[in-house]
Amino acid sequence: MKVNKIMALRLILLMMLIMGFASCSKKSSSKNASQATGWNVDSKKGPSKTKQEAGPGLVFVEGGTFTMGKVEDDVMHDWNNTPTQQHVQSFYMDETEVTNKMYLEYLDWVKKVFPPTDENYKNIYEGASPDTLVWRNRLGYNETMTNNYLRHPSYAGYPVVGVNWIQAVEFSKWRTQRVNEALLEKNGYLKKNAKTLDVTAESNFDTETYLNSPTLAYGGNAEIVLPGKYAGKKGVKKPTKAGKNGKVIEPTNIYAQRSSGILLPEYRLPTEAEWEYAAAADVGQREYNIYKGQKKYPWSGSYTRSGKRQTKGDQLANFKQGNGDYGGIAGWSDDGADITNAVKSYPANDFGLYDMAGNVAEWVMDVYRPIVDNEANDFNYFRGNQYTKNKIGKDGKVEIVTKENIKYDTLSNGRIVARAFPGQIAQVPVDEKETYLRQNFDKSDNINYRDGDKQSTKYFNFGDSESNAKKGKDDKVMYNAPKHNVTIDSLGNMVRKYDKTNKRTTLINDNVRVYKGGSWRDRAYWLDPAQRRYFPQDMATDYIGFRCAMSRVGSKSDKRKSARN
């Protein structure tokens, strides 16, 4: 009897030990999961153990109404921040700014799949790489950041900089593919670990390609793209059974579709309205269906220092304190940083979002215009829509980008970027087939709708078309920005042509994008969420980063609420 008790005790201890190891393993796996994609980046095989359905790294932001463009201080007294009432649908936003670690994961994938040593893809990796020279200054020694900021482990949790708007958009697209790829693998629609072991330039995953024609995903490799729940062991399709009449009925909808509810909407940059709404986080000021007062910053109160007893006097954001003061006196730092700081170093706002003021300013989707046209729309406002559709080849099927037909664009600063990666569906502007007799849109490019086109100038004659409005008056249009040009000569040399005319009246054109929020280089004035500035979309700085957003599909809120709450 005594022996049995001892054996039982040993068995209980052994089971507790096994459970402890399992718990540690589970925690370790979750800890190693990428915040960008949910992949277990430290694993040799690469599968993730964490749930991804909510979207890795995202925080839910319940939509609502707010006053966009209302600033506490407007020393310039210009028309750039005219207050307008707007409504934003619910969406998701990155909890933090995209970090160096997250962006390096993207670069490592690009370098593996599209090797720079391959002549066909030599420009893809370079086009995706941040500009590390943004740290240089004519009268400052910043070579340490130039050489280390992006790749040194000490800066892994710091926001990535040196990324232009175009690169931020491409990162968002890449993130969409990797997250959905992992979701399909988890649900048995893709061969396990193919995303890390079998991926090549000619065989990789794209969400839209998979949805449009699953058999073309991964280069048409049927061993990787599996027929979901109808797949048997090792991806072999289960044999079909004959019906009562002896006729074999093949299963339908064997691949995942939008209706399957597995795939997430795309990661993208937030619109200006979404970013400002999320940063202001007026939900913390709500009483019934009204807001109690106006917040000057993403946190409550009109001061940049904390008033809470535990953290009284601490700065609530990373910004420039004054001339020659980026971080305070040694040993008694004002904000704990001189350049950028690690994400989550300061308290989150009422939506649970970090660094919505300070650290780095952030790109948003919108093309910049001084006025937000709420007379045309006050719901999900966004200027910059360019509608496209899938390109159909001569064979009547969608045209997939390959190394033979890949196209590159040369930006005004000379950087060469891929228009689309191999494996994606080539896009073309929508035409009359989609726009004929429509009332909501009538062309592909809507950037200049009701603003910024030739008809908006003082030379506008009512009834003239855009193409006929005062021909020869191009130097008098509203947005008469410099027109720099870069071409490639017959020898492959880059020819840069600078626009040196002194007749230009503005820096605004269709290629400048809005960026929001103050940065480590900015005074507190720019920390107000309603402040807005613009910068060329193909240029980068050491103080602009970005974070991703995702549209909410379904209900406005996560749970039912009473009128009081």
CATH number at residue 143: 3.90.1580.10
Q: Tell me what pLDDT residue 46 has.
A: 42
Q: Where a domain ends, among 261, 293, 310?
A: 261
Query: Is residue 564 in a domain?
Result: no
Query: Is residue 233 in a domain?
Result: yes
Q: Where a domain ends, among 417, 445, 473?
A: 445
Q: Tell me what pLDDT residue 337 has.
A: 92
Q: Are 362 and 544 in contact (CB under 8 A)?
A: yes
- 521 and 439 in one domain? no
Q: Are 169 and 538 in contact (CB under 8 A)?
A: no
Distance CA 535, CA 135 (A): 17
35-63: pLDDT as tens digits: 788 777 655 444 333 433 568 999 999 99
- 170 and 279 in one domain? yes
Q: Are 57 and 41 in contact (CB under 8 A)?
A: no
Q: Tell me what pLDDT residue 475 has.
A: 52
**Beta bridge partners of residue 416, listed in sequence order:** 410
Total domains in the chain come to 3
- 365 and 411 in one domain? no
The DSSP symbol for 238 reads P
Q: What is the pTM of this model?
A: 0.85
* Torsion 168-174-177-181 (CA) sign: negative
Query: Is residue 500 in a domain?
Result: no
- 396 and 363 in one domain? no
CB-based burial, 78-104: b 16+ in 10 Å, e otherwise = eebbeebebebebbbbbbbbbbbbbbb
Tens digits of pLDDT across the chain (565 residues): 555 666 666 666 666 666 655 555 444 445 667 878 877 765 544 433 343 356 899 999 999 999 999 888 878 777 788 899 999 999 999 999 999 999 999 999 999 999 999 988 989 999 999 999 999 999 999 999 999 999 999 999 999 999 999 999 999 999 999 999 999 998 889 999 999 999 999 999 999 999 999 988 998 888 999 887 544 444 444 555 555 566 655 555 688 888 888 899 999 999 999 999 999 988 877 767 777 666 788 988 788 888 888 888 788 899 999 999 998 888 877 888 999 999 999 999 999 999 999 999 999 999 999 888 888 899 999 999 999 999 998 888 899 999 889 998 888 888 888 899 999 999 999 999 999 999 999 999 999 888 866 556 655 444 454 444 445 455 556 778 888 887 777 777 778 888 888 878 788 889 999 999 999 999 999 999 999 999 999 999 999 999 999 999 888 887 766 665 5
Query: Is residue 224 in a domain?
Result: yes
Q: Tell me what pLDDT residue 267 has.
A: 96
Distance CA 412, CA 407 (A): 17
- 428 and 347 in one domain? no
Q: Tell me what pLDDT residue 531 has.
A: 94
- The CA dihedral of 91, 97, 98, 99, to the nearest 10 degrees, is -150
Q: Which domain holds residue 206?
A: 188-242+249-261
Query: Is residue 338 in a domain?
Result: yes
Report the relative pairing of strands 544-545 and 361-367 from DSSP bridges. Answer: parallel
- 305 and 220 in one domain? no
- 228 and 205 in one domain? yes
Query: Is residue 268 in a domain?
Result: yes
- 211 and 78 in one domain? no
- 353 and 395 in one domain? no
Helix (H) and strand (E) counts for the chain? 9, 19
* Torsion 164-167-172-178 (CA) sign: negative
Tell the burial category of 563 from Cβ atoms under 10 Å away from its Cβ (0-12, 13-18, 19+). Answer: exposed
- 437 and 308 in one domain? no
Query: Is residue 12 in a domain?
Result: no
Query: Is residue 95 in a domain?
Result: yes
- 225 and 175 in one domain? no
Q: Where a domain ends, among 403, 418, 445?
A: 445
Q: Tell me what pLDDT residue 35 has.
A: 79
- 154 and 81 in one domain? yes
In the block, residue with structure tokens 């006097």: 313
Q: Tell me what pLDDT residue 554 has.
A: 84
